[in-house]
């Protein structure tokens, strides 16, 4: 019998880049949502339910004074990505859908359009 494959949430998911089906970078994994899994026994088992991205997902880990300052600057927006959307976990987390359909990278796209207007002037 082979040893069970291990999975380290901190090493394999948190702070990894999210890449959509078009190859576009659309954020980072800022938090992981776990849910209980039915095993049919009294053993407790958890499974990954979703990934969270955005400043609202990571500012809760900050001390209160820093949280207030960061939320004032970066906002509290966060997006839930159902774990079923994950196609591949490697150096980056590849998603099955586009960033736009998942409402990821909205601020990045807005900033890109704004910067493009200034470059053309």
For the chain, what is the domain count?
1
- Does position 40 have pLDDT exceeding 50, yes or no? yes
Q: Is residue 40 part of a domain?
A: yes
Token pair recorded at residue 19: 């890449």
Token pair recorded at residue 69: 């300052």
Read off the pLDDT band of 111 (50, 70, 90): low
Report the CATH number that the domain containing residue 95 is assigned in CATH.
2.30.30.240
Q: Is residue 4 part of a domain?
A: no
Q: Which residues form the domain of 112?
A: 9-119
Q: Is residue 16 part of a domain?
A: yes
CA–CA dist 105, 121 (Å, integer): 25
Average pLDDT score over residue span 20-34: 93
List, for residues 41-67, the tens digit of each pLDDT value: 666 788 899 999 988 888 888 898 888
């Amino acid at each position: 019998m082979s040893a069970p494959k291990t999975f380290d949430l901190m090493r394999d998911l948190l702070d990894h880049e999210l890449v959509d089906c078009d190859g576009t970078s659309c954020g980072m994994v800022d938090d992981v949502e776990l849910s209980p899994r039915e095993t049919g026994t009294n053993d407790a088992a958890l499974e990954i339910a979703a990934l969270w991205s955005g400043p609202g997902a990571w500012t809760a880990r900050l001390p209160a004074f820093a949280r207030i300052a960061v939320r004032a600057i970066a906002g509290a927006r966060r997006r839930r990505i159902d774990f079923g959307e994950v196609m591949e976990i490697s150096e980056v987390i590849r998603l099955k859908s586009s960033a736009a359909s998942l409402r990821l990278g909205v601020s990045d796209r807005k900033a890109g359009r704004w910067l493009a207007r200034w470059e053309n002037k």
